[in-house]
Each structure stands twice: as structure tokens, then as C-alpha cells.
Amino acid sequence: MKGPVLVILAAGIGSRYGGLKQVDRIGNSGEVLLDYSVYDALRSGFEKVIFIIRHDIEQDFRELVLSRMGTRVRYEVVFQDLDTLIPPEVYAEAQRVTRVKPWGTSHALLCAADKIDAPFAVINADDFYSKEAFEVLGTYLGSAELSEGAIVPYRLDKTLSPQGSVARGVCGIENGYLVSVEELTAISQRNGRIFNTAPDGTERDLAPDTPVSMNFWGFPPGVIPHIRRYFEEFLKTSASNPKSECYIPRAVDWLIKNKTLSFKALNANADWFGVTYKEDKASTTARVAELVAQGVYPASLWA
């Protein structure tokens, strides 16, 4: 049985961050945040990494990220652009409504489908998930006859940014299984209160210990045709909306509701941090430096 594959979503535009956070340096030797995920994955049994990027950042990505990894990492690069895998009539409509962004994380995953030949994990490029989380998910994906998916959830209050609102998939978990994922796109914290603001302006309070998705998913390879079907249904109803995105958490919720695939909720007792906004970089850099000082990571990952 092949070891699991790590799929990294690195095609985002970074509108909240104000730049390409995929290639923004965090470590002392030029490491970006995804370097630590790749390092943790390799020491947790993952055998291959697939980077999903856009064509317009390819040169920067190869020079600033891949060149440092050298032969230490077995990887492939695939591209997610506005027209990738999109029917001509849908693409024409996207151009008419002046769509700029590609079609979301489910679309990104499908762009890598031809390269996925084993159980796989999906992560964001701009999140730090921790060594413990990769160990738990790597062990799970490496088990024989994998027939279910998995998520490593995180506590909501540990995933917020003091700089502004964030998007999170709020997880319903029962008896160790995920039963729902609700994508909330404007979660904030103010005066000790955590709440989401809906598009119509209404506010909804959320408990600090609410489990949320940070896009740390595990899948059996057979899930791809089902996600493709979900994406096709999405395009039928959303092609005329220039800001619509087909998120993986919503695809997972659809898989659960249709009894297509069940998802275990894995407890990793893991810490998360990331760079949603430019101002998050300083604290993220400091936390990485602390982990290096503690010996969790070498000072130079790929030396």
C-alpha cells in the first residue's frame, strides 16, 4: 500500500493578507509556513506532496519554495486557474460577470485529481497545523482498507485573529463522527464575545470551544468522483455569481448528508496558528522561532 499523499492548497489570492502569503518568509532560513507542514508530513509517513498553485505565481513559488526543498521532497505541481476544468459555456459566463478568482477549494482539489493515487490529506498553505496533527492523520490514512474520511478539528477560540474576521467551518460532532459542517465567513471576537455576522447583518454567538475545520482533511482516493459531481452541481447554480466559491467543507457536508462518506473526528490536541492578515506575520514568526528553540524543528528545515 502506498503511503498517503499531502495536497496543499496554495492557489489563493490572499485578498485579506494583501499579498502572496504562500511565499512570505517565516523561518530564519527563508522557510514559508507550508514548509513546516511538508516537514511534519514527511516525518509522519506521507510519501508525496502535491502543490496546487496558479500559473501567475509559478516562478515565485519555484524560486522561493521549491528550490530550497531540492531532492528532499517528492512533489508534483498542478495549476488551478479560472478556466481549469471549466466547461466553455461556464467560463464564458464567468468572463461576462468579470469573475477574477478561481472556483474555490473543491475546484482546486479536482485540479490535482489525476495525481492522487493513494489516501490523501488536504491542507491550506497558510496554516500551521502542528506535528501532533500530522502524526494522528498520517497514522489514520496509513491504515489498511481505508473506507472513511477524517478531520482534525481545532477549538474556535484558538483560531481567531485579533486583526479582523475569519472564515471557519463550524463542525457538528457526535460519537466521534462529523455530522455537519457549516461554513461561516465572518467570525469575530470582541470584548470576550465570539460571534459570526451573516450577510444580512444578523449576529450569532459561538462558544469558545466550538470545533472548527481549518481544512485539515483526510480522504480515501475513491472520494474524487463524488466531489466532482458536487462541483458540477455547484457550477449549474453559481456560474453567474462572480464571488461564489465551492468550499471543501461544504462538499464534505454534502457527502455526509447524502450518506456517501462518513468522517471520523480525530483528536490530536494540536495547536494552530496562521497568517490571515499581514499583521499576523509577526506573531506567527515568533511562534515558529519558539518551536525551533524547543527543538521541534531544526533551524534550517532543508539543510
Q: In tens digits, what is the pLDDT along the chain, a chain of 303 residues?
A: 678 999 999 987 544 434 456 678 898 888 999 999 999 999 999 999 999 999 988 988 898 899 999 899 999 999 999 999 999 999 999 999 999 889 999 999 999 999 999 999 999 998 999 999 999 999 999 986 789 999 999 999 999 988 889 999 999 999 999 999 999 989 999 999 999 999 999 999 999 999 999 999 999 989 999 999 999 999 999 989 999 999 999 999 999 999 999 999 999 988 899 887 888 889 999 999 999 999 999 999 998
Residue 107, H or E segment:
helix 105-111
On whether residue 300 sits in a domain, the answer given is: no
On whether residue 255 sits in a domain, the answer given is: yes
On whether residue 302 sits in a domain, the answer given is: no
Q: What share of the chain is helix, strand, coil (3-state, %, to 5)?
A: 35, 25, 40
CA distance 155 to 209: 5
Which CATH number goes with the domain that contains 195?
3.90.550.10
On whether residue 201 sits in a domain, the answer given is: yes
On whether residue 241 sits in a domain, the answer given is: yes
Enclosing domain of residue 71: 5-293
CA distance 244 to 183: 13
On whether residue 151 sits in a domain, the answer given is: yes
Beta strands in the chain (DSSP E): 5-9, 48-53, 75-79, 120-124, 127-128, 149-151, 154-155, 166-174, 177-190, 193-197, 203-205, 211-213, 217-219, 263-265, 273-274
Q: What is the pTM of this model?
A: 0.93
On whether residue 82 sits in a domain, the answer given is: yes
Exposed/middle/buried for 15, CB within 10 Å: 0-12, 13-18, 19+? exposed
On whether residue 79 sits in a domain, the answer given is: yes
CA distance 128 to 35: 10
How many domains are contained in the chain? 1
